[in-house]
Amino acid sequence: MEDYETATSGASETYPQQCSSLRKNGYVMLKGNPCKIVEMSTSKTGKHGHAKVHLVGLDIFTGKKLEDICPSTHNMDVPNVTRKDYQVQLYDGFLSLMDDSGATKEDLRLPDNEVGTEIGKKFDNGESFLVTVLKAVGQEAVVATKNYN
């Protein structure tokens, strides 16, 4: 008898895509990290086979630069990335977020980067604003703020 502890929605965190069809500003998994492609170059087909694609990406959560080379005909994993805007409140370093439907979310910390500093300043000034949360491969992070009308 098989025992299943957890169940998922069935939606995969990544999907395969042929390397040659990836595009700049798109997303790709590089060395196990979800990255935004910032540079791409394709080398000519060599004596022994495939044209190679050189990818440079920035980790969407850490900003770290990663590189990889892949034959153009091979598949690479592309993360399913979602963006969602939330209204925000700040309590003891944690964010209290509310989406359009009124659902709340309180499991994200104030980011320890420029975005976190910006959120703190906007709060201190009493501004109304939204935060953008990026979600991919089981991770979530606040990546931007935008003014709220």
14-79: which CATH topology? SH3 type barrels. (2.30.30)
pLDDT tens digits, residue range 41-91?
Answer: 998 887 777 789 999 999 999 899 999 999 999 999 999 999 999 998 877
Q: Which of 30, 19, 85 is nearest to 59 (CA)?
A: 30
Q: Indicate if 82-147 has the same CATH topology as 14-79.
A: no
> How does residue 1 score in pLDDT terms, banded at 50, 70 and 90?
low
pLDDT tens digits, residue range 113-136?
Answer: 899 999 989 988 988 899 999 999
DSSP label at 80?
-
82-147: which CATH topology? OB fold (Dihydrolipoamide Acetyltransferase, E2P) (2.40.50)
Residue with tokens 């910032």, as numbered in its chain: 38
The full set of domain ranges for the chain reads 14-79, 82-147
